[in-house]
Amino acid sequence: MSRNPYLLAADDPEGLLALLQEDPSLASGQDEHGYSLIHAAASYNHLDLLRKLVRDFKVPIDLRDEDGETALFVIETVDVARVLVEELALDPSLKNDEGLTASEKIEAEDEFPAVAEYLKTLNSSSTTTNGTTNGEASESLVLPPAPEGLQVRVGMMDEAEVEELQADPEIRRRIEELAAREDFQSPEGQAELRRLVMEVIVGQELSEERSVRSRQE
């Protein structure tokens, strides 16, 4: 008897991964209601499974169900929200068929207030919407964790920070090249943009640290 991948996603992530190794085409599948393995992994807090579905099996992180809802609409913990948004680049401002974002729907249902508050913070700090242009996308970045041993106190990029980055001709050129790519809004394109921003910030932090040390010496 064939194993149900959606049940495995809920109860046996390792079993599901073994099944997907045998048949990778199942990874991006959706049932008759649009429910996907991404939705299931997010709903049941299986973080490693989420990462592997996206990174190893190339499943689009923004799959929607029959109500136009991404995996952010079915989560119960902030940890899962962080993985979806900060690591896998799922846009928190995407709306369902009723015109609600995940934070708005979760807040209305009043079941997971911490999740709603986290997502609401992202949306209020971002100018990105479903109709955002490529030129505006860099203002809504949620940066990945800083390298070990380096403290970078950065959340969402504000307008001044974006202007500072774009003031450097080389950085501007690289951002414009990324923005012109067809896959700019994909998880891969957004991840590459975040890496560029982090590279700049890390360089600035190290430069400031060297400057401080020189003055102290």
- Residues 94 and 10 both lie in one domain: yes
CATH classification of the domain holding 8: 1.25.40.20
C-alpha–C-alpha distance, residues 101 and 68, integer Å: 10
Number of domains in the chain: 2
- Residues 192 and 106 both lie in one domain: no
Q: CA 40 from chain center: how many Å?
A: 17
**Which of residues 125, 155, 183 is at a domain's end?**
125
- Residues 148 and 75 both lie in one domain: no
- Residues 141 and 208 both lie in one domain: yes
- Residues 82 and 3 both lie in one domain: yes
Range of the domain at 195: 131-217
- Residues 185 and 85 both lie in one domain: no
**Which of residues 110, 125, 140 is at a domain's end?**
125
- Residues 156 and 200 both lie in one domain: yes
Tens digit of each residue's pLDDT, the chain (217 residues): 568 999 999 999 999 999 999 999 999 999 999 999 999 999 999 999 999 999 999 999 999 999 999 999 999 999 999 999 999 999 999 999 999 999 999 999 988 999 999 998 887 655 444 444 344 443 444 444 444 444 444 344 444 555 555 556 777 777 777 777 777 777 777 777 777 777 766 655 555 555 555 555 5
- Residues 113 and 143 both lie in one domain: no
Helix, strand, coil percentages in the chain from 3-state DSSP, rounded to 5: 60, 5, 40
pTM for the predicted model, two decimal places: 0.59
Name residue 101's beta-bridge partners: 95
**Which of residues 93, 110, 125 is at a domain's end?**
125
C-alpha–C-alpha distance, residues 42 and 130, integer Å: 22
Please provide residue 40's backbone torsions phi and psi, each rounded to the nearest 5 degrees: -65, -45
- Residues 20 and 74 both lie in one domain: yes
- Residues 158 and 194 both lie in one domain: yes
